Chains A and B, each alone.
Chain A
Amino acid sequence: MASEYRLELKKISKAFPGVQALDEVNLAVRPGTVHALMGENGAGKSTLMKCLFGIYKMDSGEIYLEGEKVNITDPDTAMEMGVAMVHQELQPVPARNVAENLFIGRYPTKKVGPMKVIDHKKMYEDTSYWLKEVGLDFDPKAQFGTLSIGQMQSVEIAKAVSHNAKVIILDEPTSSLSDNEVEQLFRIMEKLRDDGVSMIYISHKMDEIKRIADDITIMRDGQYVGTWKADEMSTDDIISMMVGRQLTQIYPPADAEIGEVALEVEHLSSIHEKSFQDISFTVRKGEIVGFGGLVGAQRTEAMEGLFGIRHLSGGTVKVNGKEVQISRPRDAMDVGIGMITEDRRGNGIFGCLSIKDNVGVTVYDKHLKTGIVLDHKAINKIVDESIDKLSIKTPSSSTQIANLSGGNQQKVIVSRWLANDPDILIMDEPTRGIDVGAKHEIYEIMRDLARQGKAIIMISSEMPELLGMSDRVYVMCAGKLTGEISRKEDMTQETVMDFATRFE
């Protein structure tokens, strides 16, 4: 019997120890549509997709593909049935080339005598074909690691298409893409949609949903909330369905008194020509200064240069009017600068260590008895106060940080830097990958720090956050500082985008 839907998930349930991750969730995807799956972090979107893709085994529920009941036990079966998934975190083999990544695990072979060997010629030809199929044009022999994240993602999609996928799952594909790359991705998606492919699209970004989605299914706390036509829903409707409450004010109002200049940076330049060059800016006490720009604008690199993580070819840094030399993070910390990095897992948390050890690491120097022994009592006090003050949800301070949610991990990292009591705090994408509730808490913390007279630099790729939190905004483009927006009324998406796209 033919079905109206390409794919139907019925009453899917899945429990993890202590959590009912999915509770009778439904999802019905029409052929040739982009179906947005939305919900706060922890709503169960990724879990649902992993059940569909055979990574998790669901406890109960049924999956129908083209009206027929199917039993998907592992990703291989899913692929055979025409379900493909582009993961949130790509798992490429960076040291091998594009073609090998595309054909990993199913290399075309030919017979040479009694042996089967890989048919490289066919592999490269097929790769070119599939890349063209999704509107891409680059060398199949290019080393995968040299591609941008956007390009890698496109290859992943090409891979899905090469499997003749009828349903492609895209789990937050745009979270690390620049606007250009997002546009490119959408073009590919539109082409696939025209070819009759169904896509399940997980994203938090409202404007993208409005732009690309045909249908929207919303989940909340592992429950199915409902499915709507995308054009019938306003952004506010979606948000209120997702959180189950009206979010009237996400960004707490600015109320800090702005004081003297705390940080003055002049002509900061990287040793790499293509990275940041000639960056000059100031930050005042009590001020939250936002850094906007496209991904690849070298904002992170510039801040890491300032903080002593990257090498500089020139530039001066003045803290409270005094020129300082920073050649490594410790130097920056000694003059009162702290930095919460963008890549929480890469260079933020110590995954296998406790919350206590994660917070304490910046302040061991300050809490020594007789120059050698750590003053555990004082450190415990700092840690306990942080847990309390930032309301970090954890059983105890000796819990491994890896066991916390992203939002709570981020709060631990914030505590780490606050423990060192910096005057200037650099926050690089402070709310990346954390849910709406925790985001709000981070914003409150930032406002509170500003009230205490701390100078805050925030890099943000989320336009609403950038505009909502910043007292002043600098915009970078391709390593150069292209604009400063200091008047509140000029702070609009349009002005930021204008500066952000001033390529030479």
Chain B
Amino acid sequence: MKKKLTVKDFLINYGVILIMLVLVAYTSVVRPNFLRPNNLTNILTQMSYRLVIACGIAGCIITAGCDLSAGRMIGLGSCIAGSLVQRVDYAGKFFPNLEPMNPLLVVIITMCITGCFGAITGFFIAYLSVPPFIATMAMMEIVYGISLIFTGGSPVGGYVSSFTAIASTKFLGLSSLIWIAIGILILTWFIFNMTRHGKYMYAIGGNPQAAEVAGVPVKKTLLLIYMKAAMMYGLAGFMLACKSGGTNINTGLGYEMEAIAACTIGGVSVTGGRGKVSSAIIGVAVFEFLKTALQFLGVTPDAQYIALGIIIFAAISLDIRKYIAKK
């Protein structure tokens, strides 16, 4: 028996997106600049690395976990990436005699290093049953310490132009950062839907005990998920370094919370088992568009925090309605 889609159901399902559309429509009327292509590509660029982070963290949330180390991993990733592409003549160079590396090699090195840390977190979560909240918090501290020791607290700047050029290179009018994000989205969609690993991820999120009984390699899968997520953070750090042309240890600070919020706004359930790549896209889009719209409307950055908090409250209250059993 098919249920009729009532207005209430519609609001519950699409409430947040509606709020966003209304705000965007309003902003574009009172501030015509808002929908200019220039501004839109700007928003998309802002979204690019956030999408990459969200793709990583979504996997953790789907298994009913979370990842608080994301922000610090991004910071470490950006510092590592930055230190490998500094100009030879730059005064505060980290590796004085190092020729700036090929960006592709830099990506690989960055992602491998953060991936190793992610694997360690995953090991503690999967094999030693440390709750994800605690394990990733511990890793957050460790990674921050490593970043501090590595950089000595000083900013990492002076990149060769071939590196920063990545962010400004455009293809079909879009920054290559956006293309990287699109690539990651497709890859993540593929992993979530087409591979055994993805199916196992949903099974573990849905019911870890049942997954164990059904022969799902729960531990291995969890470890891989946290490792994969950390590699994404490394990539996001690399992208941020490209974009900003200089980083420091506080790059990426707080991004984990934004990413978790974005995922849940988009419909990744914190109780596990539910969530798609489209959820991450919706969540990040809602977040960025709202932020920019508020900015255009002249809301101060300080007050924007309050607005975003309200959005999270509203979004999750609506989203949870989909799953709460009706009596």
**B-binding residues in A (CB < 8 A):** 17-18, 55-56, 307, 309, 328-330, 332-333, 339, 341, 346-353, 357, 360-362, 364-365, 368, 372-374, 376, 416
Q: Write the nearest CB–CB distance from B281 to chain A, whole angstroms.
A: 21
Chain A residues positioned under 8 Å from B216 (CB to CB): 361
CB atoms of A352 and B196 under 8 A apart:
no
Q: Is B210 in the interface zone, CB < 8 Å from A?
A: yes
Q: Write the nearest CB–CB distance from A343 to chain B, whole angstroms.
A: 8
CB atoms of A347 and B3 under 8 A apart:
no
For B1, B203, B206, B216, which residue has the most chain A Cβ atoms within 10 angstroms?
B206
1/0 per residue, CB under 8 A from A, across B297-327: the answer is: 0000000000000000000000000010001
Q: Write the nearest CB–CB distance from A297 to chain B, whole angstroms.
A: 21
CB atoms of B210 and A349 under 8 A apart:
yes
9 residue pairs bridging A and B, Cβ less than 8 Å apart: A56-B327, A309-B212, A329-B213, A350-B210, A361-B211, A362-B214, A373-B194, A373-B195, A376-B194
Chain B residues positioned under 8 Å from A376 (CB to CB): 194
Chain A residues positioned under 8 Å from B237 (CB to CB): none
CB atoms of A349 and B207 under 8 A apart:
yes
Contacting residues of chain B (182-225) with chain A, CB-CB under 8 angstroms: 194-196, 199-200, 202-203, 206-207, 209-217
Q: Which residue from A346, A349, A357 sits with its C-beta under 8 Å from B202?
A: A357
Chain A residues positioned under 8 Å from B207 (CB to CB): 347, 349-351
Q: Which residue from A328, A352, A372 sits with its C-beta under 8 Å from B206?
A: A352
C-alpha spacing A368/B196, complex, angstroms? 8
Which chain A residue lies CB-closest to B273? A352
Q: Which residue from A330, A357, A373 sits with its C-beta under 8 Å from B215?
A: A330
With A56-B327, A373-B194 already in contact, the answer to whether A347 and B210 are too (CB < 8 A) is yes
CB atoms of A350 and B195 under 8 A apart:
no
CB atoms of A360 and B327 under 8 A apart:
no
CB atoms of A329 and B215 under 8 A apart:
yes
CB atoms of B1 and A329 under 8 A apart:
no
Q: Which residue from A55, A329, A332, A347 sits with its C-beta under 8 Å from B327?
A: A55
CB atoms of B195 and A374 under 8 A apart:
yes
Q: Which residue from B199, B272, B274, B327 sits with its C-beta under 8 Å from A364?
A: B199
1/0 per residue, CB under 8 A from A, across B261-277: the answer is: 00000000100111000
C-alpha spacing A330/B218, complex, angstroms? 11
C-alpha spacing A73/B200, complex, angstroms? 44
CB atoms of B195 and A372 under 8 A apart:
yes
Chain A residues positioned under 8 Å from B269 (CB to CB): 352
Chain B residues positioned under 8 Å from A364 (CB to CB): 196, 199-200
C-alpha spacing A17/B1, complex, angstroms? 9
CB atoms of B199 and A357 under 8 A apart:
yes
Contacting residues of chain B (92-111) with chain A, CB-CB under 8 angstroms: none
CB atoms of B212 and A329 under 8 A apart:
yes
Q: Write the nearest CB–CB distance from B131 to chain A, whole angstroms.
A: 16
With A18-B1, A350-B207 already in contact, the answer to whether A309 and B273 are too (CB < 8 A) is no
Contacting residues of chain B (145-200) with chain A, CB-CB under 8 angstroms: 194-196, 199-200
Chain A residues positioned under 8 Å from B212 (CB to CB): 309, 328-329, 347
Chain A residues positioned under 8 Å from B1 (CB to CB): 17-18
Q: Which 7 A-B pairs have the closest CB atoms?
A: A350-B206, A347-B209, A18-B1, A352-B273, A364-B196, A330-B215, A333-B215
Chain A residues positioned under 8 Å from B273 (CB to CB): 350-353
1/0 per residue, CB under 8 A from A, across B242-284: the answer is: 0000000000000000000000000001001110000000000
Q: Which residue from B196, B203, B209, B217 sits with its C-beta under 8 Å from A353?
A: B203
Which chain B residue lies CB-closest to A343? B209
Chain B residues positioned under 8 Å from A329 (CB to CB): 212-215
Which chain A residue lies CB-closest to B2? A395
CB atoms of A360 and B215 under 8 A apart:
no
C-alpha spacing A346/B202, complex, angstroms? 16
Chain B residues positioned under 8 Å from A372 (CB to CB): 195-196
CB atoms of B199 and A374 under 8 A apart:
yes
CB atoms of A353 and B3 under 8 A apart:
no
Chain B residues positioned under 8 Å from A350 (CB to CB): 202-203, 206-207, 210-211, 273
Chain A residues positioned under 8 Å from B217 (CB to CB): 330
With A364-B199, A374-B195 already in contact, the answer to whether A352 and B214 are too (CB < 8 A) is no
Chain A residues positioned under 8 Å from B210 (CB to CB): 346-350
Chain A residues positioned under 8 Å from B199 (CB to CB): 357, 360-361, 364, 374
CB atoms of B215 and A374 under 8 A apart:
no
Which chain A residue lies CB-closest to B209? A347
Chain B residues positioned under 8 Å from A365 (CB to CB): 196
Which chain B residue lies CB-closest to A365? B196
Which chain A residue lies CB-closest to B206? A350
CB atoms of B206 and A374 under 8 A apart:
no
C-alpha spacing A292/B202, complex, angstroms? 36
Given contacts A350-B206, A368-B196, 5 further A-B contacts (CB under 8 A): A341-B213, A348-B213, A350-B207, A361-B203, A372-B196
CB atoms of A361 and B327 under 8 A apart:
no
1/0 per residue, CB under 8 A from A, across B1-24: the answer is: 101000000000000000000000
Q: Write the nearest CB–CB distance from A73 to chain B, whole angstroms.
A: 13
Chain B residues positioned under 8 Å from A346 (CB to CB): 209-210
Which chain A residue lies CB-closest to B191? A372
Chain B residues positioned under 8 Å from A309 (CB to CB): 212-213
C-alpha spacing A223/B273, complex, angstroms? 38
Chain B residues positioned under 8 Å from A361 (CB to CB): 199-200, 203, 211, 214-216
Which chain A residue lies CB-closest to B196? A364
C-alpha spacing A352/B210, complex, angstroms? 12
Q: Write the nearest CB–CB distance from B249 to chain A, whole angstroms.
A: 37
Q: Write the nearest CB–CB distance from B194 to chain A, whole angstroms.
A: 5
C-alpha spacing A352/B206, complex, angstroms? 6
Which chain B residue lies CB-closest to A339? B213
C-alpha spacing A55/B326, complex, angstroms? 12
Q: Which residue from A347, A352, A373 sits with its C-beta under 8 Å from B213?
A: A347
Which chain B residue lies CB-closest to A18? B1
CB atoms of A374 and B213 under 8 A apart:
no
Chain A residues positioned under 8 Å from B200 (CB to CB): 361, 364
Q: Write the nearest CB–CB distance from B269 to chain A, whole angstroms.
A: 8
Q: Write the nearest CB–CB distance from A351 to chain B, whole angstroms.
A: 6
Q: Write the nearest CB–CB distance from A55 to chain B, whole angstroms.
A: 7
C-alpha spacing A341/B209, complex, angstroms? 11
C-alpha spacing A107/B210, complex, angstroms? 38
For A18, A329, A357, which residue has the most chain B Cβ atoms within 10 angstroms?
A329
Chain A residues positioned under 8 Å from B195 (CB to CB): 372-374
Q: Write the nearest CB–CB distance from A36 to chain B, whole angstroms.
A: 26
Which chain B residue lies CB-closest to A353? B206
Q: Which residue from A332, A360, A374 sits with its C-beta under 8 Å from B194?
A: A374
CB atoms of B202 and A362 under 8 A apart:
no
CB atoms of A17 and B203 under 8 A apart:
no
CB atoms of A357 and B203 under 8 A apart:
yes
Q: Write the nearest CB–CB distance from A281 to chain B, whole angstroms.
A: 21
